[in-house]
A and B are shown apart, each in its own frame.
Chain A
Amino acid sequence: MPQYAALIYTDDVDWSLPDYAEETKEYNAFGEAAAAALRGGAALYPTSTATTVRVTGGKGGDVVTTDGPFVETKEALTGFYLLEAADLDAAVAIAAGIPATWGGGAVEVRPIIPMG
C-alpha cells in the first residue's frame, strides 16, 4: 500500500511547553484514532533549535553548519507523520484529522518513493 508523509506546518511553536498541553492532547487523540494507518511520526522542537548542514567542496569536504532552519518562513515544519493509505483520497481523509489543518496551519501530503 502506498505511503505518504504528512508534513505539519504551523506557527513556529515549542510543543514541549505546558502552553501547548491542549494541542498535544488533540494530537494524541488523532494518533489513537488513526493508529491503523500511522507508521511513524514526531513532533519537532522549534526552528530556533535547528542546525542546517552543508558540505563544501564535494563529498567528504568541509562541513559548514548554520544556526537556524533551511528556509525562514512564517510557518514552520513542526512535525510529521508517516502514514499508509490506499490512495491520495484516503491519505487526505486521514490528514484532515491532524489538528494543524483546522488550527490555522496546514498539512502537506507527499507520496513516498517505494524502495526495493
Chain B
Amino acid sequence: MTEADARGALARLVREEGPRVVATLIRLTGDVQTAEDAVQEAAIRALRAWPESGIPDQPRAWLTVTARRCALDIVRRESNRDRKEAEALRLQQLFAAEPVDSDVPDDLLRLVFTCCHPALALELQVALSLRTLCGLSTAEVARALLVPEPTMLKRLTRAKQKIARAGIPFRIPSAAELPERVAGVVACLYLLFNEGYTATAGDDAIRPDLVDEAIRLARLLHQLMPGQPSLTGVLALMLLHDSRRAARLTAENEIVLLADQDRSLWRQEQIREGVELLGQGLAQSPCRPDPYVVQAAIAACHALAPQSAVTDWSAIVSWYDVLLTVQDTPVIRLNRGVAVAERDGPQAGLAAVDKLAGLERYALWHATRAALLDRLDRGDEAGSARAAALALDANTAMRQRIAKSQTN
C-alpha cells in the first residue's frame, strides 16, 4: 500500500464513521453545529495521529471521545459567559454517564428524521442529508447540487439554525407518524438519485457521483429500517436503474435508448441484488403495494430481458395498472402509454398518450408523441411535436436525443 493509498483509506474510514459520531454528538450536545464542528476537529486529529500511531482498535470510539473533548472546548469558547461553565458541566456529566464505545444505532436514525423533517424545505433536506448523513464537506455538497459554495454555506447554516431555534426534534417518530415521515425521507432520497440519474441541470446527462451517494444513503436507511417497504423498494429501484449505467451513454456523452443499449454492459450483480430486494418489498406490502416497489418491478422486467425484443410488455403494462391504483399521475400514465405502444403497436400507444391531459409543459410527452407519429409515418405532425419538445426545458443530452431522433 502506498502512502497515498493509506491516507485515502484513512480518510474513507473517518468519513464512514463520521455520521454516526455526529449523530451521537447531536444527541448529547443538542446542537447540530457544535456536533459537526467537534467531529470535524476530531477527524482532523485522527488523520494527523493515525498514520503514526496506527488505526485504533475501535476507531469510532476514538473519534467519539476526541469529538467530546472538542465539543467541551467549543462550548467553553463560544457559549455566553454566564452560561458556559454550567453548559460545560452539563455536557461533562452527560459524557460521563455514557461509555464512548456504547453503540446507539438509533442516533443515526434520529439524525435521518431531523435532516428530513417536513418543517425544512426539500432543498434544505437534500443538502443537509448530503452534509451530515453522507459526510460530504460543504464544498462537496455545493458541487453535488450545482450551487455556488457561499450559497450552499448559507443554506446549510439556515437549516441548522432553524433546527436549533424552532426546536426541530432529534428523535424517531412514533409508530403512528412513521409511515408519513418515512415517505418524506424516501422523497428526499429519490430526488437526490434522480438529479444524478437524469440530471435536469448542467451539461452532464448522468452524474455518477450523485447516484453513488444516493445509493449509499439508501443502503444505510434500508439497514436502519429494513421493514419499511418504500425503503426496500426505492433501493431496489435505484440498483436496477443504475445497473445500466455503463450502457446508458455513448463515448460522446449521448443518451442511448433502453432498446439500443448493449445489455452485456449491464451489471448483473446489481440486478440480482435489486430483484432480491424487490421480492422482499413485495412481501412487505402484500395488500397495497408500495409505489416504489411497483416501479422496481417494472425496472426488473426490463433488467431481466436478455434482449430488448423479448421484453415482457404485457407484464409491464400490468405493473403500470397496479401502479396507477396506488399512485395516479400523468407521468405514470405517459409511461404506461409507451408500454402499450410496445405491446399493441404505435396506433394504440398514440391513442393512450393523446388522451392524457396536463402534460403540455412536459418535454417527454411531446418527444413520445413525436416518436410514435414517426412510426406511423406522420412526419409533419412528428416534426411539430419534436419542436414543441425542444422548446421546453431539457438538459443538453436530452436535447441532443430529441433532435437526433429526427434523422432516424
Query: What residues make up the interface of A, taking CB atoms closer than 8 Å to B?
Result: 2, 85-89, 91-92, 109-111
Stretch at the interface among B37-45, B161-169, B247-255, B370-378: B161-169
Q: Knowing that A2-B167, A88-B119, A111-B165 are A-B contacts, what are 8 other residue pairs whose CB atoms are under 8 Å apart, sorted by A's residue number?
A: A87-B167, A87-B168, A88-B117, A88-B169, A89-B168, A91-B167, A110-B166, A111-B166
Determine which residue in A85, A110, A111 has the highest number of CB atoms from chain B within 10 A of its CB, and name it. Answer: A111
- CA–CA, A110 and B166, complex, Å: 7
- For chains A and B in complex, what number of residue pairs have CB atoms within 8 angstroms? 22
**A112, chain B: closest CB distance, angstroms:** 10
Contact (Cβ within 8 A) B167 A92: no
Residue with the highest number of chain B CB atoms closer than 10 Å, among A89, A109, A110, A111: A89
Q: Using Cβ atoms and an 8 Å threshold, which residues of chain B touch A89? A: 168-169
Residue of B nearest to A2 (CB): B167
Interface size for B (C-beta < 8 A) is 7
A92 to B167 CA separation, bound complex (whole angstroms): 11
The 6 nearest A-B residue pairs measured at CB: A87-B169, A87-B167, A88-B167, A111-B166, A2-B167, A88-B166
Closest beta carbon of chain B to A116's beta carbon, Å: 10
CB distance from B338 to the nearest CB of A (A): 40
In residues 152-168 of chain B, which contact A (Cβ within 8 Å)? 165-168
Q: Which A residues lie within 8 Å of B165 (CB)?
A: 111
- Residues 105-149 of chain B: 1 if any A CB is under 8 Å from the residue's CB, otherwise 0? 000000000000101000000000000000000000000000000
| Closest chain A residue, CB of each to CB of B119 | A88
A110 contact set on B, CB distance < 8 A: 166
Instruction: List B contacts of A91 (CB < 8 A).
Output: 167
Residues of B within 8 A of A2 (CB): 167
In the complex, what distance in Å separates the CA atom of A18 from the CA atom of B256? 68
Q: How far is the CB of A56 from chain B (nearest CB, A)?
A: 32
Report B156-192 CB contacts with A as 1/0, cut-off 8 Å.
0000000001111100000000000000000000000
Residues in A neighbouring B169, C-beta threshold 8 A = 86-89
Chain A residues, Cβ within 8 Å of B168: 87-89
22 A-B pairs with C-beta separation under 8 A: A2-B167, A85-B167, A86-B167, A86-B169, A87-B167, A87-B168, A87-B169, A88-B117, A88-B119, A88-B166, A88-B167, A88-B168, A88-B169, A89-B168, A89-B169, A91-B167, A92-B119, A109-B166, A110-B166, A111-B165, A111-B166, A111-B167
Q: What's the least CB distance linking A95 to chain B, in Å?
A: 12
The distance in angstroms between the C-alpha atoms of A110 and B167, with both chains bound, is 10
Name the residue in B165, B166, B168, B169 with the highest tally of chain A Cβ atoms < 10 Å from its Cβ: B166
By beta carbon, the residue of chain A nearest B174 is: A89
